[in-house]
Amino acid sequence: MRSSRKVAALSSGLLVREQASAESYQAAVADDLAGTVEHVLNSRYSGTRIEEPSSRPRGVVQTITGESLLAELAAARADQPQRASRSGDSETPRRSGSFLGRVFAFGCVAVVLLTLVCLSPFRDYVPSPLRDQVDRVTHLLKLAG
């Protein structure tokens, strides 16, 4: 039994060493690949190297005052295209008729809707005097047609 324990201990130690060497191998391969990519990129774009930014950032300091804001506002207004004034130059939209014309159109729409409701299953919800008037008109139209 002791020999099997020694074998198990030796094999587990061997596995740990193999895992450590596999991880270091993967890290070495990754470093090698990164170096190769960097070399290829440097050799390909060596003629058009981008300038690296300076180590010290340069900020623009601007003092904002009321006068500078008003000057910027005036410049922005001058850059916008001139809009036509709403009151004088532009044409007002034409109204669609007189008040009596609108009332007549509303009345016609109401009569058509009332007729449709009286011919539908919602007939019982229409007051009886209106329902009787609609029945007379539809009866006259059926006789004439």
Domain ranges of the chain: 8-44, 100-144
In this prediction, residue 42 carries a pLDDT of 75
In this prediction, residue 103 carries a pLDDT of 93
| Local structure of 121: helix, strand or coil | helix
In this prediction, residue 35 carries a pLDDT of 82
Which residue did the predictor score with more confidence, 71 or 52? Answer: 71
In this structure, how many other beta carbons lie within 10 angstroms of the beta carbon of residue 111?
13
Helix ranges, 1-127 (H): 2-44, 66-79, 99-118
Q: Token digits for 122?
A: 């919602």
Distance CA 126, CA 132 (A): 10
For residue 46, pLDDT over 90 is answered with no
In this prediction, residue 28 carries a pLDDT of 85
In this prediction, residue 73 carries a pLDDT of 84
Distance CA 106, CA 84 (A): 36
Q: Token digits for 112?
A: 């058509």
**Average of pLDDT values for 127-142?**
88
Provide the percentage of residues in the chain whose pLDDT is more than 90. 9
Report how far apart the first and last C-alpha atoms of the chain are (Å, whole number): 114
Total number of residues shown for the chain: 145
For 37-53, b where at least 16 C-beta lie within 10 A, e where not — what string?
eeeeeeeeeeeeeeeee
Distance CA 110, CA 145 (A): 23
